[in-house]
Amino acid sequence: MSVIHNPILRGFNPDPSILRVGDDYYIATSTFEFHPAVRLHHSRDLVHWTTIGHALDDGFDLRGIPDSGGVWAPSLTHADGRFWLAYSIVRTMDGDDKDIDNYLVTADDIAGPWTEPVHLGSRGFDFSFFHDPDGTHWILGVQWDQRPEHPSFSGLVVEQYLPDERRTSGDAIRIYREDGLVEGPNLYRVGNWYHLLIAAGGTGWNHGITVARSRSLLGPYERDAREAVLTTRDAPGHPLQKAGHGELVQTPEGEWMLVHLAARPTLHLGERYSTLGRETCLQRVVFDDDGWLRLAEGGHHASVEVAIPRAEGPHAAPGTRGWIDEFDGAGLDTRRWSTLRAAVPSAVADFTARPGWLRLRGGHSPASVFDQSMILTRVEEHRASFEVVMDAAPRTPREAAGPIAWYDRSGWIWLHVTYDDENGRHLRVVRRDGTVTTRSAPFAVPDVPLHLRLSLDGPDLRCAWSPANAQEWMPLPGVHPAWTLSDDHGARLRFTGLFFGVRADDLDGRGWCVDLDRAEVRFLADAG
């Protein structure tokens, strides 16, 4: 037996869409406002997963997109010898209004190239493809209703896609509706039944997966009598909270697996905060004697460890791990690093100006939805550290650079070096919480390259510094509230997760830059 240790994709990797082609398994995950878009992962045994790249990379531009907008819920399928990828771009999400565009791209190979996108309309979000064994192709999605006196989630709709004409039929049929929130639909034909997998209850603590089925693709659909196939809404102490939004895949041996999202919260004063965002997990499932989908282990709670009948092999639980980037390549490794909304041009992330260093030219402020100069990597565990060696000579208070713990434009903690006439070159810790910005006292530092560190310990973040050639770290005073960098802090809708990164601000736009010699990330997995 082999053992799957959940989450299989740790840190911000929500809305998983799974696919098997031959002996290869692929998962696509949502990226929201981060670039490149639609993260792709590969495995041959369901236990070990590798990030292999992104589907939407060169030329893909989300500048102007709001926080937690952008690319939602990709659907990865395979039909007619090609990979199909459907995705939504949420451009506006103000009150009752959502401006959404849905697209399809295809490719002969998972590595691309992907075709130019086909517009699938703007009816709603969470669009997925179903390829019926009869040869027809269908898209399912959430029908959105902006009228304030009507339920916003007005049902799940299906519409035929005509591949030869590269368009939808234009006629959507509502096949399912509940009084509560239902979204994330995926359709499967097993035997003589069409099984409709549904994300229910919203993507927070009440999240879950339900099923409805029909003998006909267009319904009517009968809902499972059980409240949920999968949920942890009734188990607030369970390590995998918010379990829901899933897809099915069948192994070559005929077993069924359910991929789904979940979150591992940290506690602050007894309250739960999902700083790592929503992550990807796998469960074994079966169809019972009455033909309904069930967890193979029974019950409806997600399992942290899932045994699967495979050849015995290394499958230790994630422990201490990490990586180092010495910036000696030709460009950013986008399997590790992300940027906001668009690629950072080579003139901004310059690997040639100082060989062996990354020269990062400063950009807009942290409030910008356009041209921030920042590279980011997902935080995968509640105990983690991020270190960077940097050489920066700011000349004004409007020039600053350093490591940052980033959630979105209204939630971040930034340790940076800057300059003002009163203090000269110095360090500060600056924090944004909603619309409120706070700054620490200045800390004088010598005029040498600096080694800066962020350390995450559950809900808390600490900062330290050292001259780049010194061995002893000097902690900066204060414990900073990393718990505010989570989906669950504040009244705003937030759907992403915590990143570590480095940013440079040049608010006067005079070409100021910082040189980065090295970045190191370390993760220590939670016990158990």
User: What single letter denotes the amino acid at residue 440?
Assistant: S
Q: List Cβ<8 Å contacts ≥24 apart for 109-118.
A: 109/83, 110/21, 110/26, 110/40, 110/42, 110/52, 110/83, 111/52, 111/53, 112/55, 114/55, 114/56, 114/85, 118/166, 118/167
Close Cβ partners of 509 (under 8 Å, ≥ 6 residues apart): none
Looking at residue 182, the DSSP 8-state letter turns out to be E
**Catalytic one among 15, 279, 408, 517?**
15
CA 424 from chain center: how many Å?
39
Annotated catalytic, 15? Answer: yes
- Neighbour count for residue 311 (Cβ, 10 Å): 7
- Cα Rg of the chain, angstroms: 23
Report d(CA 263, CA 298) in Å as an integer: 21
CA 479 from chain center: how many Å?
27
Q: List Cβ<8 Å contacts ≥24 apart for 394-398.
A: 394/418, 394/419, 394/425, 394/512, 395/419, 395/512, 396/420, 396/508, 398/505, 398/506, 398/507, 398/508
> Tokens standing for 230?
């999968």
Three-state secondary structure call for residue 50: strand
**Catalytic one among 33, 67, 126, 183?**
183
- Neighbour count for residue 22 (Cβ, 10 Å): 8
Report d(CA 404, CA 498) in Å as an integer: 10
Annotated catalytic, 508? Answer: no
Close Cβ partners of 164 (under 8 Å, ≥ 6 residues apart): none
List the catalytic residues: 15, 183
